[in-house]
Amino acid sequence: MSDLKVSVVIVSRGRPAELGKCLKALRFQSHRNFEVVVVADAAGLATISALTLYEMVKTSQFDEANISAARNEGIHLSAGEIVAFIDDDAIAEPTWLERLVKPFQNKSVAAAGGFVRGRNGISLQWGGEAIGRAGDAEPIEVTETSIQEGTPYRAIKTHGTNCAFRKSVLTDLGGFDETFRFYLDETDVNMRLAQIGAATAIVPGAEVQHGFAASGIRGADRAPKSLYQIGRSKGYFLKKYGNPREKFAAFRDAQKRRVIRHLVSGGLEPRDVGRLMSELENGFEDGCAQDVPKPVAFAENPPKFSKFQTFDRQDRILKGRWIRRHALFSKAAKLAEDGVTVTVFALSPTTVFHRRWFHEDGYWVQTGGKYGKSHRDDPLFRRYRLAARVNREMADLRKIRHTTLA
């Protein structure tokens, strides 16, 4: 196991409850040599205080709605050789850092990115991807860790909620371009790494679950509240990398389809469509008019490395019928409080689709029907005994957790 020092940076704004769950999950990491840096608003810092984590977390109060500037603040405070990023509405699997950091033992690796599961904890939200100079992503088929070099015309994408960078390389680049207040912020870093020929590792086994919680720019149903910053970032990105304005047309059409989908599903009203598309256009024009700023300068001597307190590695599985979930959850909460990594299976005698999630009391849960789907290609019904179904699900989870009990 790598003993590299890692700084995990979390930016949080308006989501204190999600931040609390994210921090609780980090206490079960199998890689122990890391610190946590939280750049958050007052509500987020109050959550850290309530969890009695202030002594083991570096913090900075940050009230500006600019994720790039907030991440740069996190880099300023980071003392690790590697700087990793996870969103406040994401949950890291216990082996996340261990696997994400491992490729950095190869000195040529400048960045690494893992896979991201969606809200149900099972469906893949983002896997391996490459990006072109217009910022458009295309999938890369990756089944095991792959180290790839970028070119001036093609970069290897890392997702902001699950990525890591060699700090010396990131600071030499000037960190994040703060013109990207939201959207394409880490993509811009990927492009700059590609332009210097740096290598990026795609690490399928380093997983997080991304909740897509509500924020100032989207609702809980992911319906956009504003498209101005997305348009502004797109316009600035196209200008920065020498793309013609015509590249915006396909992006605009894709955003309009997205808006219409939310209109049809009831997440938006008809009057929202024109407003959102107008914001997108206005943002694009403003982005095209932006000048590229000077790179951010970082201090050579950050605050001392402050190791985050993790629990000793223990693993338990609790399984039972859905009707017994309260007893299972109560037992799991007590075990988690004692530092045990717990996975609870609470299954009903139905065909309900499965879902994996992290409980606010500090343990992982999988729910659904004994006979229901957990894989996309599963049949709608397949007969199982409870023990056999749990064993089948654990075959998947062993890829991302150390648990061997069933």
Domain-embedded: residue 37: yes
CB 170 within 8 A of CB 75: yes
Same domain flag for 22 and 103:
yes
Q: Which domain holds residue 232?
A: 228-288
CA atoms of 382 and 366, how far apart (whole Å):
18
Q: Which two tokens stand for residue 55?
A: 């002594």
Same domain flag for 250 and 327:
no
Same domain flag for 202 and 233:
no
Q: What is the CATH number of the domain that holds 171?
A: 3.90.550.10
Same domain flag for 98 and 200:
yes
What single-letter DSSP state applies at residue 123? S
Handedness of CA 383, 386, 389, 391 (dihedral sign): negative
CB 136 within 8 A of CB 164: no
CB neighbour class for 289 (10 Å; exposed up to 12, middle 13-18, buried from 19): exposed
Could you give the C-alpha distances from 95 to 39, 122, 294, 364, 403, in angstroms and in order? 24, 16, 37, 13, 10
Same domain flag for 239 and 92:
no
Domain-embedded: residue 406: no
Which helix H or strand E contains 335, and what residues bound it?
helix 325-337
Handedness of CA 59, 61, 65, 66 (dihedral sign): negative
Domain-embedded: residue 254: yes
Q: Which two tokens stand for residue 2?
A: 């790598």
Domain-embedded: residue 404: no
Same domain flag for 104 and 165:
yes
Same domain flag for 101 and 156:
yes
The residue among 146, 175, 210 that closes a domain is 210
Domain-embedded: residue 219: no
CB 211 within 8 A of CB 16: no
The residue among 210, 244, 272 that closes a domain is 210
pLDDT for the residue numbered 221: 82
Same domain flag for 264 and 321:
no
Domain-embedded: residue 175: yes
What single-letter DSSP state applies at residue 44? H
Number of domains present in the structure of the chain: 3
CB 30 within 8 A of CB 101: no
pLDDT for the residue numbered 2: 66
Domain-embedded: residue 301: no
CA atoms of 140 and 127, how far apart (whole Å):
8
Same domain flag for 197 and 85:
yes
CA atoms of 256 and 277, how far apart (whole Å):
7
Q: What is the pLDDT along the chain (406 residues), one digit of tens a residue?
A: 568 999 999 999 999 999 999 999 999 999 999 999 999 999 999 999 999 888 899 999 999 999 999 999 999 999 999 999 999 999 999 999 999 999 999 999 999 999 999 999 999 999 999 999 999 999 999 999 999 999 989 999 999 999 999 999 999 999 999 999 989 999 999 999 999 999 999 999 999 999 877 788 888 888 999 999 999 999 999 999 999 999 999 999 999 999 999 999 999 999 999 999 999 999 999 999 999 999 999 988 889 999 999 987 788 999 999 999 999 999 999 999 999 999 999 999 999 999 999 999 999 999 999 999 999 899 999 999 999 999 999 988 987 887 544 3
DSSP-assigned letters across all residues of 191-253: HHHHHTT-EEEEEEEEEEEE-----SSB-TT--BS--HHHHHHHHHHHHHTT--GGGHHHHHH
The residue among 179, 210, 241 that closes a domain is 210
Same domain flag for 244 and 193:
no
Q: At what angle do helices 270-288 and 228-240 cross, to 10 degrees?
A: 30
Same domain flag for 49 and 172:
yes
Same domain flag for 131 and 13:
yes
Domain-embedded: residue 222: no
